[in-house]
Structure 1
Amino acid sequence: MILTVTLNVALDVTYLVHGVDWNGVNRVRAVHRRAGGKGVNVARVLAALGHEVITTGVAGGPTGDAVLADLALAGIAAAFTPIAAESRTTLVVSDPEIDPAVPASHRTAGGNALFNEPGPVVTAEEIARFLSHYRGLLAQADAVVMSGSLPRGVRADFYAVLTAMAADHGVPAIVDADGASLRHAVTGRPTIVKPNADELARAVLPGIPAGSAQPPPGVPQPPPGAAEAAVLRDAGAESVVVSLGADGLLAVTPQGSWRARVPYALAGNPTGAGDALVAGLALGLVEGMPWPERLRRATALGAAAVAAPVAGDFDLGVYDALHPAITITPFP
């Protein structure tokens, strides 16, 4: 069983709007409302792939109730700690194409805008209850994935605490976080951290050396981000996988370093693509899959998620077509 942790769970609302007019009235073509948050999205992908998964975190208020009801409807096992404050809502406005009826001065050129509420305030007593619950769930887990932002009231080093607890139970941990929570998380010695390029740049702050040594003449230059990934490994992460959007990903691991590339870019909604990628990494981890094949599957899942309209889904046809076409190249 894979356990996913979403401390800042959300009710995700996605508006599909063709040709957004930011100065006028817009007609929403379709609305999707579902349980969300990065760990929940990971759980959805794992469940769709037929793997046993339990998702946990904290949830409260009517919004939290809606999240739990949606998870039950989707058949995803959920074990959330109740809190008094209201869980958050997120809004994605997805504009896949230009509508010629909208004046050029008012419309967008397509794209996706994400609006994230800050989330609830969690009390020290509620955090203690969650930790007790989490400890019990670890006894059943083959791996744990902790993803996303932390709600207010939760310390920035909380992922390091959860990772260390997992290590005490012999459970490998994957962390997908940003900012201070990512910088602290590596001190808990996670098995894998998965930042994107921007998150990696924020994690390696000024004053933290990213390495300035150049390879000898004739030796290929490592790709951008490799030196920063090595810094996170030196700080405690066993492996670092950096998602690069349409450019694929790079991985720096004890077994070697690789760059994965997709053969062509896909249009769509990138929200949740990183979560699908993490689901692939988690599966590869529990299955003991060699890193190149692990990265191939993760990259294909991330790209296939872009082709799906809602975070937590992926297009199986796109995945099947892309998987054999992903190129995996080692680098020094």
Structure 2
Amino acid sequence: MILTVTPNPALDLTWHVERLVEGGTHRADAGVARAGGKGLNVARVAHAEGAEVLALTTAGGKVGEEFATELRASAVPHVLVPVAAETRRSIAIVDEARGDTTIINERGANPSDTEWATLFAEVVERVPTVSVLVVSGSVPPGAPESLVPMLLAVAKDAGVPVIVDTSGPALLRAADAGATVLKPNAAELSEATGIADPIQGARSLIARGTELVLLSLGADGMLAVTASDLVHARLDQPLAGNPTGAGDAGVAACAVLYADGVRDPEQILRRATAWSAAAVLTPLAGDISPRWTDLEQQLLLSHPDSESFRPDSESFRPDSESFRKDPS
């Protein structure tokens, strides 16, 4: 079973507009509200693809009630820890004309020490029965610095691999705590490590104790970086659509393969890239298109030299506009 932990969940609100104009007034059909946050998106995708999952997160306030109602309706197995603070919201506005998405994320509120202890106790109870732990998403402002390392320690003591998708100082703490897999994008990696070159940044995480870094490159696909290998996967041309949740789909693919005992970086990269691309073809985060099998067959894989590797697209640069937009 795959256990996902989402430290900072959100009620995801998605609207589609014909064209987004800065400072303008827009009309849209009724939006869609969905219980989200990266770990929940991972659980949704893995569950839809037949994996056994359990999603663990928090919920509070009026928004939390709507969040819980939608999650129950989704049929994704889950455990919600009640908290006093209001569950945050995340707003995605999809520009149909340009084929891109503008995202506004509320920062979220930090649960109390007692509430964190309850969530941690749930992890301690369940980790011995799972095959993979996924810790995914941001941590709320003010959260204990020890949160992510403590979650990893519980899993490591039980011999359970841990996949972490987070950003900022929490990304470095996860590497130092020995996360099995880390899944940043280039902007997150550069911000956390202070290293402009994404491959060198990924290798710095390996040096801290991580076995595998899956590095999202936006339109240029994804890299799998280990201590001894570098593998690049991409489609022959980018897909237009909604990239929200694409990175989460890649994490779901990695988790499903790890749960099945697969450890080959190339096989993991191939599936993660295909599921990420398939997520772009769907309107909501937490879904992937059934076309993923075809996309997987279309991928271009290479083992480039790390000193000379440079993708074709300008989006590879961590300060590029596409990386600032990429929420994966």
Alignment TM-score > 0.5, same fold? yes
| CA-CA distance at 1:43 after TM superposition | 0.5
**Distance in 1 between residues matched to 2:259 and 2:16, nearest whole Å:** 36
| Structure 2 equivalent of residue 135 of structure 1 | 124
| CA-CA distance at 1:253 after TM superposition | 2.0
**Distance in 2 between residues matched to 1:11 and 1:161, nearest whole Å:** 26
CA contact (8 A) 1:178 1:203 kept: yes
The 3 A distance-change label for structure 1 pair 261 and 70 is same
Matched-pair identity in %: 40
> Structure 1 unaligned runs (5+)?
98-108, 211-223
**Distance in 1 between residues matched to 2:269 and 2:66, nearest whole Å:** 34
Note the alpha carbon deviations across 1:78-127, whole angstroms, 9 max, x for none: 11211111111110011120xxxxxxxxxxx5531101111123111111
Query: Secondary structure at 2:293's aligned position in 1?
Result: helix
> Structure 2 unaligned runs (5+)?
306-328
CA contact (8 A) 1:158 1:185 kept: no
**Distance in 2 between residues matched to 1:62 and 1:278, nearest whole Å:** 30
- Aligned partner (choices 281, 287, 308) of residue 307 of structure 1: 281
**Distance in 2 between residues matched to 1:125 and 1:88, nearest whole Å:** 19
Q: Which has the larger radius of gyration?
A: 1
CA contact (8 A) 2:100 2:240 kept: no
CA contact (8 A) 2:55 2:78 kept: yes
Stretches of 4+ moved more than 4 A in 1? Answer: none
| Structure 1 equivalent of residue 2 of structure 2 | 2
Does the alignment pair 1:60 with 2:60? yes
Does the alignment pair 1:187 with 2:161? no
- Aligned partner (choices 138, 148, 160) of residue 159 of structure 1: 148
CA contact (8 A) 1:55 1:79 kept: yes
Query: Secondary structure at 1:139's aligned position in 2?
Result: helix
- Aligned partner (choices 234, 239, 243) of residue 216 of structure 2: 243
CA contact (8 A) 1:157 1:181 kept: no
| Structure 2 equivalent of residue 328 of structure 1 | 301
The 3 A distance-change label for structure 1 pair 284 and 254 is farther
Cα root mean square deviation, aligned: 1.6
Corresponding residue pairs, total: 304
- Aligned partner (choices 298, 305, 311) of residue 272 of structure 2: 298
Query: Secondary structure at 1:316's aligned position in 2?
Result: coil
**Distance in 2 between residues matched to 1:258 and 1:149, nearest whole Å:** 27
**Counterpart code for 2:122:** H
- Aligned partner (choices 187, 192, 196) of residue 185 of structure 2: 196
**Counterpart code for 2:173:** H
- TM, length-normalised to structure 2: 0.89
Does the alignment pair 1:233 with 2:206? yes
CA contact (8 A) 1:19 1:110 kept: no
Note the alpha carbon deviations across 1:158-199, whole angstroms, 9 max, x for none: 212211111011110000011111011111101000100101
